[in-house]
Amino acid sequence: MLLTNMTVVTMQGVGYGLIPDAAIAIKAGRIVWVGPVADLPADLASQPRQDLGGRLVTPGLIDCHTHLVFGGNRAREFEMRLEGASYENIARAGGGILSTVKATRKATVDALVAAALPRLDALIAEGVCTVEIKSGYGLTVTSELNMLRAARRLGELRRVRVRTSYLAAHAVPPEYSGRADAYIDEVCIPGLRAAHAEGLVDAVDGFCEGIAFSPDQIARLFDVAAALGLPVKLHAEQLSRLGGTALAARYSALSADHVEYTTEDDAKALAAAGTVATLLPGAFYTLRETQIPPVDAFRRHGVPMALATDANPGSSPLFSPLLAMNMGCTLFRLTPAEALAGTTRTAACALGLDDAGQIAPGMRADLAVWSVETPAELAYPIGFNPLYQRWFNGEPE
Ligand code: DI6
Ligand code: FE
């Protein structure tokens, strides 16, 4: 198959890597050639063609941080925050994450899948081809495994690639109240071994925060992940500075996520470790935070920045990667090119994937075709979706 008559945003090298009047050749789900149509090799020129009408083609989007699988919703908590309660106070009073835990424990795998499908469809409708999905609302071995089984099932029901993260270290459940260490030893670690044995874990995640787990507790879990050969990532420095970013760097994490309270020294450590900083403006917006992640320090030290929805029922009920890009620009002052890199090339790094997020020979043919003229038009509008067509694994829909 040969795609022609488009501008390709390769996301190769620095910036967009634009190729005007381009062609892309696809074979067996992979890109085999991309370049100006004038340079097309003769053997490819005779392939069946699809004319894309002068549109813009980017890599299929990658949402590298979501909590798409959960039971219930937190609309009441939204109202409580508007009445003056804070996110942390609600959490400490047993609401917040723990209220979603109650609903998630009651749900069957089928019910979790059914509830998550429309959320996943919202991402797909905006050109998402790869999505990361975390556990973390079960907090028992069985319920965490069920969340991951639901995530895997979603990847079978839709034409999308799902990468799972095991996030049992998300909150201390009521039955372990005041005994976070015992929870790590008795649930998180055995649950990780069980989930890994079932092939359910692509990465291990944690929430390093005053309302969740300390760096030492997370480190014990990460030691087990390392022994199992699993990569790690971490919710770090979202609401306060506990040293989670430095911990993530020490374990050569794929990513440190949120990172609002990360410092310049932390940025240096991330750069040295090759760890991505994943920015989550949906949570910043929802919680009306004021501490902006140190984007300038990340730039100065060459820390790659990813950008994701953090789609979840509490701190970031955001199911639009395009709006995440707009928020990344407006709230965090990313350039539109950084925002697009954050949802393509760098998002792939944050998931440890080397075959997605760029348009180049050897990459998966996951593409998003947009009815726009320039790539900045993706991040610029609010609540408008210019997706024309999505290609997944070399097939259009
Ligand atoms: N940080 C987040 O943004 C989500 N989890 C986390 O550790 C929020 C989860 C929730 O509020 O339900
Ligand atoms: Fe999160």
CA pair distance 34, 285, nearest whole angstrom: 38
For residue 365, count other CB atoms closer than 10 A to its CB: 25
CA pair distance 7, 19, nearest whole angstrom: 6
Residue nearest to atom 2 of ligand 1 (CA): 315
> Residues 188-207, buried b or exposed e (16+ Cβ, 10 A)?
bbebbeebbeeebbbbbbbb
Report the candidate in 166, 163, 127, 162 with the shortest Cα–Cα distance to residue 145.
166
Q: What is the pLDDT of residue 13?
A: 87
Report the candidate in 12, 133, 11 with the shortest Cα–Cα distance to residue 64.
133
Q: Which atom of ligand 1 is nearest to the CA of 280?
A: 3
- Are the CB atoms for 23 and 40 separated by under 8 Å? yes
Q: Which atom of ligand 1 is nearest to the CA of 87?
A: 11
Q: What is the pLDDT of residue 119?
A: 98
Ligand 1 centroid from CA 33, angstroms: 41
Determine the longest span between alpha carbons in the chain, in angstroms.
69
Specify the pairing of strand 367-370 against strand 305-307. unpaired
- Are the CB atoms for 350 and 356 separated by under 8 Å? no
- pLDDT tens for the chain, residues 1 to 397: 999 999 999 999 889 999 999 999 999 999 999 999 999 999 999 889 999 999 999 999 999 999 999 999 999 999 999 999 999 999 888 899 999 999 999 999 999 999 999 999 999 999 999 999 999 999 999 999 999 999 999 999 999 999 999 999 999 999 999 999 999 999 999 999 999 999 999 999 999 999 999 999 999 999 999 999 999 999 999 999 999 999 999 999 999 999 999 999 999 999 999 999 999 999 999 999 999 999 999 999 999 999 999 999 999 999 999 999 999 999 999 999 999 999 999 999 999 999 999 999 999 999 999 999 999 999 999 999 999 999 999 999 9
Q: What is the pLDDT of residue 93?
A: 87
CA pair distance 91, 135, nearest whole angstrom: 18
Which tokens belong to 191? 């649950």
Q: What is the pLDDT of residue 14?
A: 85
DSSP track, 224-261? HHHHHT--BEEEESSSS-SSHHHHHHHTT-SEEEE-TT
**Helices (H) then strands (E): counts for the chain:** 17, 15
pTM above 0.95, yes or no: yes
Burial of 171 (0-12, 13-18, 19+ CB in 10 A): buried
CA pair distance 181, 20, nearest whole angstrom: 56
User: Which residue from 64, 97, 205, 218 has its CB within 8 A of the most atoms of ligand 1, so it is best to mutate?
Assistant: 97
Ligand 1 centroid from CA 323, angstroms: 18
Residue identified by tokens 């996110």 is 87
The DSSP symbol for 317 reads -
Residues lining ligand 1, CB < 6 A? Answer: 67, 96-97, 100, 170, 207, 235, 238, 283, 310, 312-316
HSE at residue 283, side-chain half, CA atoms within 13 A, is 27
CA pair distance 162, 152, nearest whole angstrom: 7
Residues forming a β-bridge with 255: 233, 276
Q: Order of strands across the sheet with 30-36? A: 30-36, 18-27, 2-9, 49-59, 367-370, 387-392, 395-396
Q: Order of strands across the sheet with 128-134? A: 61-63, 128-134, 161-169, 203-208, 233-236, 255-258, 276-279, 305-307
Specify the pairing of strand 305-307 against strand 276-279. parallel
Which tokens belong to 248? 């993530």
Q: How far apart are the first and last CA of the chain?
A: 14
The CA–CA distances, whole Å, from 35 to 6, 8, 25, 31, 363 equal: 11, 8, 9, 11, 14
Ligand 1 centroid from CA 301, angstroms: 28
- Are the CB atoms for 219 and 247 separated by under 8 Å? yes
Q: What's phi and psi for 143, nearest 5 deg?
A: -70, -35
- Are the CB atoms for 378 and 16 separated by under 8 Å? no
Ligand 1 centroid from CA 283, angstroms: 8
Which tokens belong to 349? 């790094």
